[in-house]
Amino acid sequence: MTSTGYATRPLGSVPSITAEQMREVDRLATGRYGLLLVQMMENAGLHLAELVSSRFDPRSVTVLCGPGGNGGGGLVAARHLSNRGVAVATTVSDIDRLGDVPRHQLDLLERIGVPVTAEPVESEVVIDALIGYSLHGDPTGRAAELIRWANGSAAPISSLDVPSGLDPTTGRVHDPCVRAAATMTLALPKVGLAGAAGVVGELYLADISIPPALHAELGILIDPIFASGSIIRLL
C-alpha cells in the first residue's frame, strides 16, 4: 500500500448530508443545472480509479456493481483501471435491472474486453459499488451474497460513496455490510459515515462537479473544499 498524498481536512469541517438531501442534490443537478448523470458517473468512477491506484497500487481488481448509479460508477472505475493496465474483472448483481446509463457503461467495458463474470474472482483489491445511498433495510439476494463474498476475501475493499449495507443517514450497520479499508464518498459526506469507522475505513471525498450554488439553494454553505484537488481525505 502506498501513501496517497491527498490534502486532508477534519470530517467535521465539511457539511454532511442525509440520503434524502443527496437525492435532492441529484434532482437539482440534472433538472436545474443541466448536469448529466453520465457526467457525474464518469467523475465518480474516474476518481475512484485514481484513489484505488494511488492507495493500493494493485495489479488486479474485482469490481462488484449494482444495477443503479452506484454500480455505474463502479463500471466507470473498471474501465479506467483497465486503461491503466490493471487486470480487472467485474460482476454485476442484477444485469437485467441495469439502468440505461449504467448499461451504457457496461457496453463500453465489453467493447474493450474487460471480463464480466457471473461469479467474482479473487484479486488484490475489491471495489464495492453495489448499493450506495439508496439502501432500504438489510441487503438481500445477490447483493447480500456479493457483500459476504467481499468480506470473506483476503483483499482490501474500497467502497464507492458508502459501504454497501451501511445506512447513509443513521449510520446503522445492516447485515450484511461491507467492511471497507477505504471509502470514497461523493460531493459531500453522508451523515452516517461519521460514526461507522469500523466499516468505512479511511474516508475520502471526491468532486463530481456539483456547484456550490446548488448546495446553497439547500441551505448548505461550503467553502471551496476541492481547491487543493478533486479528492481529499477526511480525518
What homologous superfamily is domain 8-234 in, according to CATH?
YjeF N-terminal domain (3.40.50.10260)
Q: Give the pLDDT confidence of 101-143 residue by residue, as tens digits.
A: 999 999 999 999 999 999 999 999 999 999 988 888 999 999 9
The three-state secondary structure class of 194 is coil
How many whole angstroms separate alpha carbon 126 and alpha carbon 29? Answer: 30
pLDDT digits (tens, 9 = 90+) for 206-222: 999 999 999 999 999 88
Provide the whole-model pTM: 0.96
Sheet holding 231-234, edge to edge: 8-9, 231-234, 202-206, 182-186, 157-160, 125-129, 60-65, 87-92
**pLDDT of res. 230:** 97
Backbone angles phi and psi of 228, in degrees to 5:
-90, -5
Name 70's Cβ contacts closer than 8 Å, sequence gap at least 6: 129, 130, 131, 132, 133, 134, 160, 161
- Is the pLDDT at 169 greater than 80? The verdict is yes
Give residue-wise pLDDT tens across range 65-115: 999 999 999 999 999 999 999 999 999 999 999 999 999 999 999 999 999
Q: What is the mean pLDDT of the chain?
A: 95
User: Do residues 150 and 128 make contact, with C-beta atoms less than 8 angstroms apart?
Assistant: yes
Nearest to 72 by CA among 149, 131, 152, 146: 131
